[in-house]
Structure 1
Amino acid sequence: MAELFNDMDEKELFEKRKKQGVTDIDGNTYKTVIIGTQEWIAENLNVEHYRNGDIIPQVQDQNEWAYLKTGAWCYYDNDPENGKKYGKLYNWYAVNDPRGLAPEGWHIPNNDEWNELIKALGGEDVASGKLKSKECWKGPISEFQNMSGFSALPAGALARIGRFISLFETCYFWSISQGLDKMRDAYYLSLSNDKPESKLYCFNKKTFFSCRCVKD
């Protein structure tokens, strides 16, 4: 099901629309949501093959994480149970692989597309709560929580040093946009349980974050 968020009238939170969602190459079907003029996948990616059928390697060894410059994924804490709730974490090399991480007709957003989403929800000072799921976050739930239907979960990350961080506290979503140091850095959107704002930051491409997709 896709849901429509009407930013023009804050009192009308949702208008349900009948859609089948989108299915990736592995057969995972995701809900979608329309926010402003964009349609987004409303769940974290959980795919382990590129769009052409090539496998994306799962990496579980700390010594491999630090040196990878090719696409890979992992579960938080290397625990498949976390994958059932939070999906997979990917490094930026998987995000940028020309074989395609997103389902057909979809793509990983760039900075402009993330900023358009934030603007549609009232700007970076208020969009965070409207994007966050009502589940799994530490701390109180605001009246605006998940108002958009985007259902962002605090899936944490695998830091470049090989340590898992921020489960229940922060979600990190990759952007396809690269930083000034294109050999090293790329952008991501961060939503935190202790900060009201939603902002784009730049960090090392070897880090493993969650992924969302926007329709072409």
Structure 2
Amino acid sequence: MKRAFAICAVSAFLLTACGDDESSGFTTRPDEDSSSSVCEDCDDSSSSSSVTPQSSESETSVSSSSSAKSSSSKNGDAKSSSSSAESLSSDASSISFFEDGVTGTMTDGRDGQTYKIVKIGKQIWMAENLNYAYIGVPFENGLITFDSTSWCYDNDPANCTKYGRLYTWSAAMDSVGRWSTNGKGCGDETVCSPTYPVRGVCPEGWHLPTELEWGRLFILDGYTSTAAERLKSASGWADNGNGSDIYSFAVLPVGIKNPIEGYVGEGFCTTFWTSDGDDDYYADAKTMNYNSKGVSEYGFHKNSGFSVRCVRD
């Protein structure tokens, strides 16, 4: 795993925000076999067993009236949402399984914010970046002092509405144990052993994705080298570096909060935290750039400010 303080390809002469244009696949934790994970996403077993009923803290719904991709876009094997939907429901919510790219919404019961969600493979993902205001936990590490552990890009509230918030790894993992104990103690200058899945800062019933879960998303259709192009939004990226967004995942070029340089990279790149720590100072993250179709991976310094996407338990 390469390590970086927080860089991104902004121009041929200046690297200032998220990563480089190197395309890569993904790595797994030592106890997980990447080859078996591919088969899990490719078999025909029922996906309903991998989703747990939602609690009353958040509500989830997926509607078949959403614009689904045609079966031809999935090599002819996509199932019709009108004939093959399976559902799982509880008193608080219901969710149905349709073909990839069908979107719905969920509501975070903590602050009432509603997010788009999307089914891709066997996973249900947020189709927007998390915007929960994890504040009131100051960060201090040597000469680096922050008034909080999550921010709006450029300290502009309008950017939180547009992009979601940027979080340190300790905030993304909920290292203080505000919502669960699975990531408690996973902060800067700490090697921890979280209990997976790590809810972290995500709403109840959702969690911070592992490297393996990001990897399952990237290998769909077998094209790891073009994953970013398929997941990036169809507009907003610099120099026409837009994606096809075929799964309605809508990755926007948020930029990041660099611990040294501050807010950099808007329009050029975005980086997402995983729940996998690397060592005392670094945790694993995934980067998409305007000038690359692939996804780069690095061990980034834990006090960087990156975006968060949550995946359903």
TM-score range, shorter chain: 0.7 to 0.9
Cα displacement string for residues 10-69 of structure 1 (whole angstroms, at most 9, x for unaligned residues): 897x767574434251111101011111110000110015xxxxxx3387x99999246x
Which of 90, 100, 108 is the matching residue for 1:23? 108
Residue 66 (1) aligns with residue 166 (2): no
Amino acid in the other structure paired with 2:123: Q
Measure how far apart 1:120 and its partner are. 1.5
Residue 155 (1) aligns with residue 254 (2): yes
**CA distance, structure 1, for counterparts of residue 103 and residue 256 of structure 2:** 33
Query: 5+ unaligned residues in a row in structure 2: which ranges?
Result: 1-60, 79-98, 180-199
Could you say what the CA RMSD is over the residues aligned between the two structures, in angstroms?
Answer: 3.0
Which residue of the partner structure matches residue 162 of structure 2? 85
**CA distance, structure 1, for counterparts of residue 268 and residue 259 of structure 2:** 18
Amino acid in the other structure paired with 1:214: V
User: 1:67-216 to 2 correspondence within 5 Å?
Assistant: 67=145, 72-97=149-174, 98=177, 99=179, 100-140=200-240, 145-179=244-278, 182-216=279-313
**CA distance, structure 1, for counterparts of residue 102 and residue 171 of structure 2:** 32
**CA distance, structure 2, for counterparts of residue 39 and residue 214 of structure 1:** 6
Are the counterparts in 2 of residues 41 and 214 from structure 1 also a CA contact under 8 Å?
Answer: yes
**CA distance, structure 2, for counterparts of residue 71 and residue 183 of structure 1:** 20
Cα displacement string for residues 153-210 of structure 1 (whole angstroms, at most 9, x for unaligned residues): 110000121421110010111101011xx21000111000011211321110000001
Relative to structure 1, the CA distance from residue 10 to residue 201 in structure 2 (aligned partners, 3 Å threshold; closer, same or farther) is: farther
**CA distance, structure 2, for counterparts of residue 58 and residue 139 of structure 1:** 37
Relative to structure 1, the CA distance from residue 210 to residue 64 in structure 2 (aligned partners, 3 Å threshold; closer, same or farther) is: farther
Which residue of the partner structure matches residue 53 of structure 1? none
Structure number with bigger Rg: 2
Relative to structure 1, the CA distance from residue 197 to residue 16 in structure 2 (aligned partners, 3 Å threshold; closer, same or farther) is: closer
TM-score (norm 2): 0.58
Amino acid in the other structure paired with 1:92: W
What is the number of equivalent residue pairs in this alignment?
204
TM-score (norm 1): 0.82
Secondary structure (helix, strand or coil) at the match of 2:255 reads strand
Amino acid in the other structure paired with 2:258: A
Relative to structure 1, the CA distance from residue 135 to residue 101 in structure 2 (aligned partners, 3 Å threshold; closer, same or farther) is: same
Amino acid in the other structure paired with 1:119: I
Which residue of the partner structure matches residue 42 of structure 2? none
Measure how far apart 1:135 and its partner are. 2.6
Fraction of identical pairs, as percent: 31
Secondary structure (helix, strand or coil) at the match of 1:190 reads strand
Measure how far apart 1:83 and its partner are. 1.2
**CA distance, structure 2, for counterparts of residue 141 and residue 76 of structure 1:** 20
Relative to structure 1, the CA distance from residue 10 to residue 125 in structure 2 (aligned partners, 3 Å threshold; closer, same or farther) is: farther
